[in-house]
Amino acid sequence: MFEQQDPNLIQLNSAGQLKHFLTTEGLSREMLTEILDTADSFVDMSAQQVKKVPLLRGKTVVNLFFEASTRTASTFELAAKRLSADVLNLNIKTSSTSKGETLKDTLMTMEAMHSDMFVVRHSDSGAAHYIASNVTPHVAVINAGDGRHAHPTQAMLDMLTIRQHKGAFEPLTVAIVGDILHSRVARSQIHALRTLGAKEIRVIAPTTLLPRHIEALGVTVYTDMLQGLKDVDVVMMLRLQKERMQSALLPSESEFYNLYGLTEEKLKLTHPDSIVMHPGPINRGVEIETSVADGPKSMILKQVTNGIAVRMAVMSMAMGGQMTEHQAERGSE
For residue 237, the surrounding DSSP H or E stretch is strand 234-237
Question: Known binder of ligand: residue 178?
Answer: no
Question: Known binder of ligand: residue 154?
Answer: yes
Strand partners, 200: 173
Rounded Cα distance, 96 and 78, in Å: 29
Question: Known binder of ligand: residue 184?
Answer: yes
For the beta sheet containing 220-222, the strands, ordered from the edge strand earlier in sequence to the opposite edge, are: 220-222, 200-204, 173-177, 234-237, 275-277
Q: Are 144 and 69 spatial neighbours (Cβ–Cβ below 8 Å)?
A: yes
Q: Are 207 and 180 spatial neighbours (Cβ–Cβ below 8 Å)?
A: no
Question: Known binder of ligand: residue 244?
Answer: no
Question: Known binder of ligand: residue 163?
Answer: no
For 83, list phi and psi in degrees, rounded to 5: -90, 5
Question: Known binder of ligand: residue 242?
Answer: no
Question: Known binder of ligand: residue 239?
Answer: yes
Question: Known binder of ligand: residue 206?
Answer: no
Rounded Cα distance, 77 and 310, in Å: 13
Rounded Cα distance, 52 and 72, in Å: 20
Q: Which residues are annotated as a binding site for L-aspartate?
A: 99, 184, 239
Q: Which residues are annotated as a binding site?
A: 71-72, 99, 121, 151, 154, 184, 239, 280-281
Q: Which residues are annotated as a binding site for carbamoyl phosphate?
A: 71-72, 121, 151, 154, 280-281
